[in-house]
Structure 1
Amino acid sequence: MSDTMHVSGTVQPRAPHQTHANRKRTDTGHRRDPCVPQEFVHRPFVDDILVTSWRRLDDSRFSLTAQWPHDHGYFTPVHGHHHLILTGETIRQAGLLLCHTELGVPVGHHFILGDLVYTTRPEHLAVGDGPTRLTVQVTCSRMRMRAGTLSSGHFNMTIRKAGRIVATGHSDVTVASPAVYRRIRGERLTARHAPGPLPAPVPHQLTGSTKDNDVLLSPTGRPDQWHLRIAPGHAAMVNPANDHIPGMLLLDAAQQAARALTAPRAFVPYAFGTEFRRYAEHGLPCTLVAQHVPSALPATTTVRVTGSQEDEPVFVSTLTALDARR
């Protein structure tokens, strides 16, 4: 019998959790509410941690709490609504947290994200005067365990604000031990982001960014194509320990590209799906191409963004926005 099998309930239910990370004072002088340790959600800074607690409901279902900042230095509101990437980052952090705390994955193992898909309800995503408090219901399926440790699984999530659904989504994750990851990455394992001469950004207004330092696109001379640019100190999206460009940064670059393609019209996506094909490597040019594609629903606009290195697709994102009312 193989030592890999489909299982459910390998890890026994535990009591509700509310862990406290070391608090750090933010630039604005206030202190964040207690949150989970950074190593459980793979974020180097406390202010970027969105998930605040978790508890197991049964063998495959969990309930988490989260909060979205109203005054984050990078995830700034767009047209009075929370930044689109906050939903994807919440799904990512929730999955990582459960893997480490409930599904037997040791800190130090690596996660390979296959896809990340979510749909939001903009009417429930207005930004208030303080953090938006959320609940996240997670159902795990297609779980494969090896010696009591998750090796792959599907995480389906529903995010609610005051009982109302604000977003739904899912992700598929494969887990690699340090030894397996070393074999996968080879000489790339020691690669790190090395800031060099930074190309000029496209105007930040085209991307929905508030300042040039947050712009992830540089022009190529074509209105539908850009090169990825990562400014030094881009701390909200770049973990210095990563040996590759983080997937969440690629998602943000995709939504910037979609907005640049559709400018000057406002393009505020409510649905975002990404398939990751391979690692985005440090030190190699990454080209993004955006194109209009047919929408499945009337009165919507859909844009597909493909990121490539060395003429090989790295990721493909599809973003859909409601058309502006006339």
Structure 2
Amino acid sequence: MTVMQEGAAGQELAFERPVERSLVHRRAVTEVYVTDTRPVSGIRFAVAAQLPRSHRYFTDHTGYAAPDRLDRGGRTAPAGATGAAGPAETTGPDGDGGGRPAAARTTATAGGSAAPADGFAADPLLLTECCRQAATTVAHRYLGVPPDTAFLVTRWTARFTAAAPQPPGGGPDELTLLVGATDLRERGGRLESATLDVDLALNGTPAGHATIGAAYMPSGRYAALRALRRTTPPPLTSALPPRAGGTVAAPGAVGRSLPENVVLTDATPTPDGATARLDVPAGHPAIYDHPLDHVPAMGLIEAARQAALYTASRGERALLPQVAGFDAEFGRFAELDAPTTVTARRRGPVAGPPAGHTVAVDFRQLDTVICAITVTLADTGHRPGTRDGAEARRGARR
């Protein structure tokens, strides 16, 4: 395999415009955050990304669970009941009819900061998406992976650090990602798998690290693999109804304010955690930017985060912790036409920094674990008037 050295090493990264959307596997230009890339040395590459100031999904967060949306046992109130959030399909992802629940307090307003919680600089899932886009761009631009390739994630770990300073003049956050490729394996002269190590710096300050295990499969071989493991062709999200059914979890109990961004239904506390059903809205503009035949890794990681936060809230504590990291193993495809049970269990404390605890989240289809994600929660939460809320309000007035 020949590593392509497109662009000059040592040149300063630019944040002027997004790269081609095909490089990051996005259909909407508004969902492209990578702006530039440069080779560094060997098989290491620098990637630039600009974070959105406001986003209907990535900056839709609350610092508080909404107690009025939970019954006394901590379960989600039925849709239509007093204080309950309505089903997500009543307001389309791009509609104007949905308001934020009155009890939910967000840490980002239109044009404001993307910071979701006290002590953290940006939404960990937004940073995770930027890692995905950076790794995908590097694979196409430098590692010779052709366009007609299915990208499969086998494992993903991430750790996020404390808050970075605001950019000068209150501008949008600028993220730099240093991507290193190791464990390169080829088949017939074509890259088959690799490990991508990503170091993140937000506004010049270290923001975390991620490791992604990726497999690259020609589209024809991918289709054959999907057919081999199923008795019928897999459906596409574009052919499915908006929701599979069930009672959508209360947004405030999973750290969201918009029901359309909740991916769990029929959530119920258990003595050591919670259970729920996976239900990613089929038309979700960020998770399903284009039609897919399975739930992608980003959808499963979001579901694990929500399950961990639901376990933390239980309707009894108002201050939700922040995700400080995760360790994910993806064993099988998350099929769209099979019920998926989500089980979260509290695990032990972690010393940090930041200090916190872990929640183990399993995803099962037909009594088989298809994915296991351990979420690390930091013992911190948003407080009105701290950096996040105040900066968001100031940013909205700029």
TM-score normalized by the length of structure 1 = 0.86
Cα deviations by residue, 1:85-122 (Å, 9 ceiling, x for unpaired):
01211111111111111111111211111111111113
**Local SS of the residue matching 2:58:** coil
Matches within 5 A, 1:55-70: 55-70=38-53
Asked whether the equivalents of residues 273 and 317 of structure 1 are also in contact (C-alpha less than 8 Å), the reply is yes
Cα deviations by residue, 1:4-34 (Å, 9 ceiling, x for unpaired):
xxx6xx224222499xxxxxxxxxxxxx952
Greater CA drift, 212-221 or 278-287: 212-221
Matches within 5 A, 1:152-167: 152-167=193-208
Q: What is the aligned partner in structure 2 of residue 314 from structure 1? A: 370
Work out which of the two has the higher radius of gyration on C-alpha atoms and give 1 or 2.
2
Let me know the Cα RMSD of the aligned residues. 2.4
Say yes or no: does 1:323 pair with 2:370.
no
Aligned positions, number: 304
Q: Partners of 1:163 and 1:221 in 2: how far apart?
A: 42
Q: What is the aligned partner in structure 1 of residue 259 from structure 2? A: 212
Q: What is the aligned partner in structure 2 of residue 37 from structure 1? A: 20
Greater CA drift, 254-263 or 142-151: 142-151
Of 84, 92, 95, which aligns to 2:135? Answer: 95
Structure 2 unaligned runs (5+)? 60-113, 382-398
Of 182, 188, 209, which aligns to 1:168? Answer: 209
Q: What is the aligned partner in structure 2 of residue 23 from structure 1? A: none
Q: Check 1:288–1:181 CA distance in 2 against 1; reply closer, same or farther (3 A cut).
A: same
Q: Which structure exhibits the higher relative contact order, with contacts defined as CA atoms closer than 8 Å and separated by 6 or more residues? A: 2
Cα drift, residue 198 of structure 1: 3.2
Q: Partners of 1:207 and 1:92 in 2: how far apart?
A: 23
Q: What is the aligned partner in structure 1 of residue 160 from structure 2? A: 120
Greater CA drift, 230-239 or 249-258: 230-239
Cα drift, residue 292 of structure 1: 0.7
Q: Partners of 1:209 and 1:129 in 2: how far apart?
A: 25
Q: What is the aligned partner in structure 1 of residue 175 from structure 2? A: 134
Greater CA drift, 127-136 or 86-95: 127-136
Structure 1 unaligned runs (5+)? 1-6, 19-31
Say yes or no: does 1:192 pair with 2:232.
no
Residue type matched to 2:377 in 1?
A: A
Greater CA drift, 35-44 or 192-201: 192-201
Cα drift, residue 56 of structure 1: 1.3
Matches within 5 A, 1:2-41: 10-16=2-8, 34-41=17-24
Cα deviations by residue, 1:255-293 (Å, 9 ceiling, x for unpaired):
011001100341201112211111100111111111111
**Local SS of the residue matching 1:176:** strand
**Local SS of the residue matching 2:54:** coil
Asked whether the equivalents of residues 155 and 329 of structure 2 are also in contact (C-alpha less than 8 Å), the reply is yes
Say yes or no: does 1:302 pair with 2:358.
yes
TM-score normalized by the length of structure 2 = 0.71
